[in-house]
Amino acid sequence: MTAHRRPPIPFSDAERGQCRWCGEPILHTSGPKQGQPNRRRRWHPKCVRAYNASDPRLLRRRVRRRDRTICAECNLDTNALRREVRGRGRAKTLREKGFVPRKSLWELDHIVPLIDGGGHDLENLQTLCKPCHKKKTAREARERAARNREAEIANPAPAEPAH
């Protein structure tokens, strides 16, 4: 499983009345059965919210609604570009502008990359047009490689003894 997919449901085989996410019993909160297991439920409401928040599609929708598909680097409105470039020659025009003519002209980007300790929280996500995302990813890879080279120079690995 990759980091971009939802986590597995830990208690997927839990009985009714036991939360499938946290494993805790789900109890009636009022009425004559107050304090007894609620066998009609399979999830706590807070656990449903936590599971739904792990859906990458939901995060993409939330970032799209927040940023309105405007690139954080170059301020290009990718929706306006899509409306502007229609009909014959669309693919050629998009290629000239640095895009691959596909479904979406923007990508979801982690401000602090996952490999550098960033998370999937909304504050760490931004909208980038595809050319800016490609440049940013290449720049981060170069910086990461330079840091790794510096770390190797500063802390060389011990040499293996000869046989």
Q: What is the DSSP string of the chain?
A: --TTSPPP-TTTTPPTTB-TTT-PBPB--SSTTTTSB-TT-SS-HHHHHHHHHT-HHHHHHHHHHHHTTB-TTT--BHHHHHHHS-STTHHHHHHHTT---SS-SEEEEESS-GGGT--SSGGGEEEEEHHHHHHHHHHHHHHHHHHHHHHHHHSPPPPPPP-
pLDDT reported for residue 106 = 93
Q: Is 63 within 8 Å of 121 (Cβ atoms)?
A: no
∠ CA(135), CA(153), CA(139), 5° rounding?
Answer: 5
pLDDT at site 97: 87
Question: What does the alpha-carbon distance between residue 27 and residue 41 come to, in Å, rounded to a whole number?
Answer: 9
Q: Give the pLDDT confidence score for residue 99 in this predicted structure.
A: 86
pLDDT at 2: 45
Residue in 28, 31, 32 with CA at minimum distance from that of residue 17: 28
Q: 40: which 2 tokens?
A: 């009609």
pTM of the model: 0.67
Predicted pLDDT at 77: 95
Residue numbers in the chain where pLDDT is lower than 50: 1-2
CA angle centred on 130, ends 126 and 135, rounded to 5°: 85
Q: Distance (Å, rounded) from C-alpha 111 to C-alpha 136?
A: 10
User: In this structure, are residues 39 and 16 in contact, taking their beta carbons and an 8 Å threshold?
Assistant: yes
Domain ranges of the chain: 1-54, 70-153
